[in-house]
Structure 1
Amino acid sequence: MTDAPRRTPLDALHRSLGASMTDFAGWDMPLRYGSERDEHTAVRTRAGLFDLSHMGEITVTGPQAGELLDHALVGNLSALAVGRARYTMICEPGGGILDDLIVYRLAGERYMVVANASNAQVVLDALTERAAGFDAAVADDRENYALIAVQGPESPGILGSLTDADLDGLKYYAGLPGTVARVPALIARTGYTGEDGFELFTAPDDAEPLWRALTAAGKDAGLVPCGLSCRDTLRLEAGMPLYGHELSTALTPFDAGLGRVVKFDKTTNGGRFVGR
């Protein structure tokens, strides 16, 4: 007997919008709301709204949080400035890719690692194991976050109408705490579409009011809800890899053409890291 798929805090809303649902990595997720072609075009020309609450948030804290991540991942995360994010990978000791990740440095001793839904437990287990000997703690924060993305050329105007945060000063791969429609959120200028856009990390109970506020603010700008189907075509068009397709344990970052994310000049841990 298999477990029933998990549902995001926005599940009932998706169904009320007539979304076609699918089991993705053990989650019931919206595949499309109508035509994936129309959703794809909306993101490229106007804006699209995505529920990404299936992603896996893992918090790493402590005096040696940066050193732990330098050891556990292929990137140089101790050098990451507070408020910035970095694309990186976690590898097996032999170099095979376990997952690709986005890491946000939220404070001097606090990082958030965002893993793909299908690999979140694998990443959590690997980080927990690799934390041995470091003055740092690894915590599973998946139940504490919902994640909504607004992507497309109209997204800055839509989000800007709902927040006092300095979006003009928010660089690509940066994030800052703020409020959106009076909802507390981490506002990150990141995405998986090849367009300008934002990812909003918020409490699960705040997901629906945030989604509804964004929908209302984006109505005149042509914002539409978007499912995983167009997210896949958007990332393919933008040349962004997906784990299980272009990335796997059979490939190293160099095999995948992403050797640039591997940093051999780390100054922590004597330059050693898992997978080197």
Structure 2
Amino acid sequence: MTDDTSAAPSPAPLRTTALDAAHRALGATMTDFAGWSMPLRYGSERAEHAAVRGAAGLFDLSHMGELTVTGPEAGAFLDHALVGHLSALAVGRARYTMICDAAGGILDDLIVYRLDGERYLVVANASNAETVLAALTARTAGFDAAVRDDRDAYALIAVQGPRSPGILARRTDADLAGLKYYAGLPGTVADRPVMIARTGYTGEDGFELFCDPADAPALWAALLAAGDEDGLVPCGLACRDTLRLEAGMPLYGHELTTATTPYDAGLGRVVKLAKPGDFVGRTALARAAEEAAARPPRVLTGLVARGRRVPRAGYPVVDAAGAVVGEVTSGAPSPTLGRPIAMAYVDPAFAAPGTGGVHVDIRGAREPYDVVALPFYQRQK
């Protein structure tokens, strides 16, 4: 017998965004997120959360996965590859959609922008970018379309919050007032070329700026300076999670997985069964739609704590007798509501807002929760 003296393989180094030095100069607490070194918080995540709700926050989202689809049949290809009707999307508009497997399970949720007649930008979650790239590439067979990995071609900066339009207006002459929600336009910000999209993941008004990574530090600094008088602060991933949870927005790996269909998640509206042609997962999704209409196995709903203990993903939801009737998918203290909140998949009998007798089993203790409609928070428009 011989000793194995070979060294264990070293983990791959974390990827860094073009704003890494800026984050560290601001004293950010960095964390590993999907293989990227990303800011978790700069100081107090509650203060960052409150800034986005009341003023504005600045986020580095450069870890997201940008894929470009081009070609004469780009729209028809995306109709086949995704659950939405992307060929019907107008130039300059965006759509929330999903990519599913043949069984109807969700591989990822996406935002797709139509840049021109034969060019689309698909934005995937960082943790699923490789999966989406591989699936899209495999699905191009038979279509005059190509998929290009453009993750290194973009940095992505978001300014979110009620004061974000005024802040961005100080650094651009683009028609922000005419830019609709889920639309994008080319322009310049701080004299740098960008695509300005009116999208976000916080439940507030805001913009996402796609730019050349080389321009990202100057854009970041210019926006921080422009928003100083309005209370703009840099924000990390921690408050982004509590913001999206309050807004009832699903997170892949929690509310969305390959074990769930869009109908399970209450997002059947994104599936366009009536669009022309076939698409991956159509048969399974048609069956899931029928089952959801008859009686869904479980329903994604909101829970608000009566006490102070915080639920976490995976905790059982139980009835008054202790029988399991669901499972928490996301949970956190809500800075806006002042109480812990959660999203959970629960049996239909316990899913209606106002349903009593629902508890979350938190390490053996049954904590009472109120069932509420999602979202927990909705901005005033």
Band of TM-score, shorter chain:
over 0.9
For 2:134, the equivalent position in structure 1 comes to 125
Question: 1:123-143 CA distances to partner (integer Å, 9 max, x unpaired)?
Answer: 000000000110001000000
Aligned equivalent of 1:55, options 64, 69, 78 = 64
Aligned equivalent of 1:26, options 17, 21, 35 = 35
Q: What are the residue-to-residue correspondences of 1:174-189 with 2, within 5 Å?
A: 174-189=183-198
Structure 2 unmatched ranges of 5 or more? 1-9, 283-381
Question: 1:177-226 CA distances to partner (integer Å, 9 max, x unpaired)?
Answer: 00001010000000000000000000000000000000000000000000
Output the amino acid matched with 2:16.
R
For 2:87, the equivalent position in structure 1 comes to 78
Matched, 1:7 2:13: no
For 1:103, the equivalent position in structure 2 comes to 112
For 1:251, the equivalent position in structure 2 comes to 260
For 2:161, the equivalent position in structure 1 comes to 152
Percent identity between the two aligned chains: 78
Distance in 2 (CA, whole Å) between partners of 1:55 and 1:22 is 15
Distance in 2 (CA, whole Å) between partners of 1:81 and 1:161 is 28
TM superposition shift of 1:2: 1.1
Output the amino acid matched with 2:280.
V
SS at match of 2:141: coil
For 2:279, the equivalent position in structure 1 comes to 273
Distance in 2 (CA, whole Å) between partners of 1:124 and 1:134 is 16
Distance in 2 (CA, whole Å) between partners of 1:98 and 1:266 is 20
For 2:324, the equivalent position in structure 1 comes to none
SS at match of 1:57: strand
SS at match of 1:168: coil
Output the amino acid matched with 2:171.
L
Aligned equivalent of 1:94, options 103, 112, 124 = 103
SS at match of 1:219: helix
Distance in 2 (CA, whole Å) between partners of 1:203 and 1:90 is 27
Distance in 2 (CA, whole Å) between partners of 1:188 and 1:275 is 29
For 2:179, the equivalent position in structure 1 comes to 170
Distance in 2 (CA, whole Å) between partners of 1:15 and 1:157 is 27
Distance in 1 (CA, whole Å) between partners of 2:178 and 2:167 is 16
TM superposition shift of 1:256: 1.0
For 2:221, the equivalent position in structure 1 comes to 212
Distance in 1 (CA, whole Å) between partners of 2:275 and 2:66 is 25
Aligned equivalent of 2:203, options 194, 198, 203 = 194
For 2:251, the equivalent position in structure 1 comes to 242
SS at match of 2:259: coil
Which of these two proteins has the greater Rg computed from alpha carbons?
Answer: 2
Distance in 1 (CA, whole Å) between partners of 2:236 and 2:199 is 18
Distance in 2 (CA, whole Å) between partners of 1:182 and 1:113 is 25
Distance in 2 (CA, whole Å) between partners of 1:54 and 1:245 is 19
Question: 1:112-167 CA distances to partner (integer Å, 9 max, x unpaired)?
Answer: 00000000010000000000110001000000000000000000000011111000
- TM-score by length of structure 1 reads 0.98
SS at match of 2:229: coil
Distance in 2 (CA, whole Å) between partners of 1:2 and 1:262 is 39
* Alignment size in residue pairs: 273
Runs of 4+ with >2 A deviation: none
Structure 1 unmatched ranges of 5 or more? none
Distance in 2 (CA, whole Å) between partners of 1:143 and 1:188 is 19
